[in-house]
Amino acid sequence: MPKILITGASSGIGEATAYAYSNPECELFLVARREQRLTEVAEACLKKGVSRVVFKARDLSVPGQGASIVEECLEELGGLNLLICNAGYGIYGPLQEVSPQDMARIWQVNFQSGYESIYAAVPHLMKQNEGHIVLVSSVIGKKAFPYAASYCATKFAQVAIGEALWGELRGTGVGVSVICPGYTATEFQQSAQNTASQGSWNRPGSGQDSAAVARAIVSAVRHKKREVHLTLPGRILCGLNRISPFLVNHVAAWVLQRASKKEDRRQEVGDIR
């Protein structure tokens, strides 16, 4: 019976992924900061038919929590087969307005906590010769944009770890998948941190449904896909960047610098999770 640990499970992609795995064949270990929301998600998972669900309210901005949740999962569920590193948030604004302290915190939540979890989980997964690790990165983990340097750095790092780890674990029975969604209609934009001059980054309109990302995660695990891009704009962007990074950089900088002068500051980079 697969035992699955999901971080950032109280909303958005994490919540949708918990529901996607809510069947009698699975046991879930859900982690996020908001205990009340986790309670609601856990109850919904049980109604959908999951065999068992355990949830823990944990703040992954605290160093060491990423490793602790793996140990708790092993103790509570008696094992671990699938680790989904999904927790994260955004900071949007000029780099000079993102303090080193803010950078350290987003690095801890978006990247370091996941690294801690992977570091703790890999020996267990290798010992049992099976398992899978999923890192939920982003299109801007492949192509950086102005006014999102800190967020992009964390997502680039996830892609790098995923690529390296895939090679290291090849042939061990443990798979690695990096998921690169485009803009997804979740609470992510509303909860993002904006710097003093940045104003609102909340995007009007709709993006892809978080359930679509969850289905992509399930498929990536089942078929052991190394990297998954969900949206056509995202695939086009990455393709153009390979052909002419100079052109893409200049167009992106021009568009975002121009948009940053507008009163509502709703830049297209806010489209990309």
Give the catalytic positions in this structure. Answer: 151
Closest CA to 117 of 154, 159, 74, 151: 74
Closest CA to 35 of 14, 3, 9: 9
**Count of C-beta atoms within a 10 Å radius of residue 106:** 21
The amino acid occupying position 269 is: V
* Residue partners of 64: CB distance under 8 A and separation at least 6: 116
